[in-house]
Structure formats: C-alpha cells, structure tokens
A = this chain, B = another copy of it.
C-alpha cells in the first residue's frame, strides 16, 4: 500500500473551518475505490497541528484522488488557512502484511 502523511499547521481562527472542510473531504475520499484510509488526527500538544494519514492501494490511487472534485474543492478552501506550506512524506507499508489484514474489524474484539 502507498501511504501519504500530510502534516499541517493551521491559523488558530481558521481551525474549525479547516476541520469542517477536511471532514467533508475525508467522507468522500474513503468512498474512492483506490483509497483504504483517510484519518484526520489532531496533535495533543498543539491543537493547531494535524496529520492526514492517507492510504491508497498504490500511487495511482493517490493520483486519482487528486483529480476528484472533493479534493480540488478542499485544496482551494484550505489554501489560505495554513501558517506554512503543508509537508508530505510518502511511505509504503510493511504491516499489515496482506490486503485482508488492512480490514480491522472491531467486531472481532
């Protein structure tokens, strides 16, 4: 799997706007066939820092995401809400080891 970790730091008075816009993007992104996860997490020490943890089947899945209407809308919405350019690091996954294992079923616990 291809994983993109996007670190952002938002202007405090745009924090709620950023969260709302990103929730909308997330809800649509997880419906994309190439997407497996889109987690938005907020830093415990600094509520203005967020990470987007995006998992796609492959790099093409990420490329397809960047052409969607919901991504482009989000990108334009949030453009002026950051204190600095967002930073992205790309990874591939070693664990979970199989595609099936990416399905974490809470019901099993």
Contacts and interface: CB of A to CB of B under 8 A. Distances in A.
Interface of A: 3, 5, 19, 22-23, 26-27, 30, 33, 36-45, 50-51, 53, 89-97, 99-100, 102-107, 109
Contacts of A45: 89-90
Determine which residue in A22, A39, A99 has the highest number of CB atoms from chain B within 10 A of its CB, and name it.
A39
By Cβ-Cβ distance, the 10 closest A-B pairs, closest first, are: A41-B91, A40-B95, A26-B95, A44-B90, A40-B94, A103-B106, A3-B41, A103-B105, A41-B93, A43-B91
B105 A23 contact: no
Contacts of A97: 23
25 contacts: A3-B41, A5-B51, A22-B95, A23-B94, A30-B96, A30-B104, A33-B109, A36-B104, A37-B104, A39-B95, A41-B91, A41-B92, A41-B93, A41-B94, A42-B92, A43-B89, A43-B91, A51-B89, A51-B91, A99-B106, A100-B106, A102-B104, A102-B106, A104-B104, A105-B105
